[in-house]
Structure 1
Amino acid sequence: MEKNIQTKYWVVDGKEPDPGIIRQAGEIIRNGGLVAFPTETVYGLGASALDDNAVEGIFRAKGRPQDNPLIVHVADMDRVWELVSGVPARAAGLMEKFWPGPLTVILRDGGVAAKKVTAGLDTLALRMPDHPVALALIRAAGVPVAAPSANLSGRPSPTTAEHVRNDLSGRLDAILDGGPAGLGVESTVVDLSGETPVLLRPGGITPGQIESVTGRILLDPSLEPGAVIPGKPRSPGMKYRHYAPAAPLVLVEGTPSRVTGIVRQMLEENLLRGKRVGVLCREENAGLYPGAAVVGAGAGGEPGETASKLYAALRRLDQLGVDLILAEGVEPRGVGLAVANRLRRAAGKIINTGQLHE
């Protein structure tokens, strides 16, 4: 898609957005246009979920594969009943506890949403974002809003409006700048269309939190490192390489002391070859990698902090123009499961040195 749209850029208060600006942005969506907006996870690229042509605009703007389904955002529960064929009790329980919030539920599609939203599946992904700008925009639009992350497909997701502008300016109608996203990784996705709940994508709501409502959940095989997903993905973030910086990324997982040793060894080898090497690491380890372009992403014991900084750190390494990125792994527990998942999806190569804790 050629960059030929005059993109409007509106700065709005993240807590009390200007009603006039929100009204204009809502009209754009209602009339088939594209608007980027902040949520509590990352910035989304929104279009009317009822308009196939508008939804097709999302795929064109992002360069997104056509078989990758979208998540539909709503601002009230009445919309859910309009869009799906039924809401199981466990789904209602999750929505009651975690909505608005970073949880996406997959239910049986009711045939109302545009066909391109579901990418040919018989299910529909839904969530209610926990952000005043997002909720105000959806209400102003008067339609459910389909919205993947507002970045070029495969790139690190955007956590600021500037990230959106760098990737998509000229490809969408408007950007609402409501400040940095808080959580920093996309929503948890749970498939509730079958007999047993299945976690398809980890996020800010952990498996333990979900199980407190639904009972035991299964982890989809796609969450295993190096898994190959046959056929159509049931959720965004499953089948394709995602979240990737421009430079090749090597992820080193395992016992922290072994991880730092392997990263140091690979750093030295590549520096001798004349490569400019970036290292993504725990902030307390920044001094371990002399000669590298080091970017810290949170402390080792704070996966929530790492999540909030991850995508900005990957984009920073791109700005530094490195030839190779070496990344320390994150223990896949709690929110750390989401961070580990994103790093694995971004990596061109994964090295496992052993256990992820000492």
Structure 2
Amino acid sequence: METKTLNNSTKAIEVAAKLLQSGEVVAFPTETVYGLGADATNDEAVKKVFVAKGRPSDNPLIMTVGAIEQLQPYVELTAQAKELMTVFWPGSLTIILPIKTGMVSMLVTGGLETAAVRMPANQVTRQMIRLAGVPIVGPSANTSGKPSPTTAAHVKHDMAGKIAAIVDDGPTQVGVESTVVDLTAKRPTILRTGAVSQGDLEQVLKTEVIDATSQKALPADQVPKAPGMKYRHYAPDKEVVMFDPLDWQDLQRVLTTSDAVMAEDALLMGIDARKQASWSLGTGLEQASENLFAGLRYFDDQSVIKRIYVESMPDMGIGKAYNNRLGKASGGRLFQGLDSE
């Protein structure tokens, strides 16, 4: 299969919408990462997404819409959901809701009676979905388990020849996937961290929101409610090691030419880029989150690099999502500093 790259013109968006209507898979941009879209009401189309990603069938897919009205036939829009949608949609928040009986494919929900739903901020994608006339599934457009794609080039690297088209609207802005909040639990519960924080949710809902992201991985026989809860995610093939900026001086003393460093500009000023492979995470939490996956993907393709050291961030705001993804990518490996070894 030849994978077409489409631009963000009106004509290209129409082409993408028609491909979705015909049961094809189309990669699309969001403000977080690029997604892999197919008609959520078409089981054969949804199966193509699982095949393209190599994704386990019990890992549920997010149902993505271009307008809230597209959700009404499929899920129960609770009062809490409407409050969150009013404030955070379109945007980086995925909400888990009860499905209406028989209205959502079990392929999409992983066999559960709940569905994860989202309306992205990207105008090109919302227009594409509205033209297609159906909600689409929207997992990240990468090989399952690998770092998520933040550019169309990343998508092409993983998906060329596997999907019909890629809609290119430039690099994403947030860089880490949306926050996932479960509104079917006894209390609102965060299952995946993202740009919308626990405090943001509590301010709108006027109630306690539980953060369950620190819980251990689900057992093998349990179906996850949201992506990222059970299977290996965000990990390149190369070894990834987190480091605290307080250990930067110690780390510099052990680096070799087969190591790469991903850090903020303030730290990288202290190394010779001609001798040490490095990737700028920019300045501050937002830029670090935007640049994380791109750097991991870049060094994963460099044969001379054997290990990637990545700076951890303050565990606040979107930094919590950044550290969550980095923790999964590294398998929890942490550089301890020379005094600790």
Q: TM-score, normalised by structure 2?
A: 0.92
Summarize deviations over 1:162-191 as a string: whole Å, max 9, x none.
111111010000111111111111111000
Other-structure match for 1:10: 6
* Distance in 2 (alpha carbons) for counterparts of 1:68 and 1:126: 14
Matched, 1:306 2:288: yes
Q: Structure 2 matches for 1:186-205, cutoff 5 A?
A: 186-205=177-196
Matched, 1:148 2:139: yes
Summarize deviations over 1:210-245 as a string: whole Å, max 9, x none.
11112210011x435xx3322222111222221112
Give the one of 89, 105, 116 matched to 1:125.
116
Structure 2: which amino acid aligns with 1:319?
D
* Residues 1:349 and 1:118: Cα distance change in structure 2 (over 3 Å): same
* Distance in 1 (alpha carbons) for counterparts of 2:238 and 2:251: 16
Summarize deviations over 1:55-113 as a string: whole Å, max 9, x none.
111010011111111100111222222111x2221111000111111100000122312
* Distance in 2 (alpha carbons) for counterparts of 1:205 and 1:262: 34
* Residues 1:262 and 1:217: Cα distance change in structure 2 (over 3 Å): farther
Counterpart secondary structure, 1:105:
strand
Matched, 1:320 2:302: yes
Contact 1:248–1:348 (8 Å) recurs in 2: no
Summarize deviations over 1:124-167 as a string: whole Å, max 9, x none.
00011111111011011111010101111111111111111111
Matched, 1:344 2:340: no
Contact 2:60–2:108 (8 Å) recurs in 1: yes
Matched, 1:294 2:282: no
Contact 2:241–2:335 (8 Å) recurs in 1: no
Other-structure match for 1:276: 258
Task: Return 5+ residue gaps in structure 2 as ranges.
Answer: none
Counterpart secondary structure, 1:170:
coil
Give the one of 41, 48, 57 matched to 1:57.
48
Matched, 1:331 2:314: yes
Q: Structure 2 matches for 1:162-173, cutoff 5 A?
A: 162-173=153-164
Q: Superposition RMSD on alpha carbons, in Å?
A: 1.8
Contact 1:201–1:223 (8 Å) recurs in 2: no
* Distance in 2 (alpha carbons) for counterparts of 1:177 and 1:62: 19
Other-structure match for 2:199: 208
Matched, 1:263 2:251: yes
Counterpart secondary structure, 2:333:
strand
* Residues 1:348 and 1:292: Cα distance change in structure 2 (over 3 Å): farther
Other-structure match for 1:229: 218
* Percentage of identical aligned residues: 41
Question: How many residues are matched?
Answer: 330
* Distance in 2 (alpha carbons) for counterparts of 1:217 and 1:237: 19
Contact 1:293–1:320 (8 Å) recurs in 2: no
Contact 1:157–1:311 (8 Å) recurs in 2: yes
Structure 2: which amino acid aligns with 1:316?
Y
Give the one of 251, 254, 278 matched to 2:242.
251
Give the one of 3, 25, 33 matched to 2:24.
33
* Distance in 2 (alpha carbons) for counterparts of 1:248 and 1:292: 17
Structure 1: which amino acid aligns with 2:181?
V
* Distance in 2 (alpha carbons) for counterparts of 1:325 and 1:22: 38
* Distance in 2 (alpha carbons) for counterparts of 1:176 and 1:223: 35
* Distance in 2 (alpha carbons) for counterparts of 1:117 and 1:90: 23
Counterpart secondary structure, 1:178:
coil
Give the one of 88, 101, 120 matched to 1:98.
88
Q: CA deviation at 1:286?
A: 1.1
* Distance in 1 (alpha carbons) for counterparts of 2:184 and 2:71: 14
Contact 1:55–1:114 (8 Å) recurs in 2: no
* Residues 1:65 and 1:263: Cα distance change in structure 2 (over 3 Å): farther
* Distance in 2 (alpha carbons) for counterparts of 1:57 and 1:250: 34
* Distance in 1 (alpha carbons) for counterparts of 2:99 and 2:251: 46
* Distance in 2 (alpha carbons) for counterparts of 1:87 and 1:348: 37
Q: TM-score, normalised by structure 1?
A: 0.88
Task: Return 5+ residue gaps in structure 1 as ranges.
Answer: none
Contact 1:185–1:339 (8 Å) recurs in 2: yes
Contact 2:176–2:289 (8 Å) recurs in 1: yes
* Residues 1:89 and 1:331: Cα distance change in structure 2 (over 3 Å): same
Contact 1:263–1:328 (8 Å) recurs in 2: no
Structure 2: which amino acid aligns with 1:294?
S
* Distance in 1 (alpha carbons) for counterparts of 2:241 and 2:58: 27
Counterpart secondary structure, 1:350:
coil
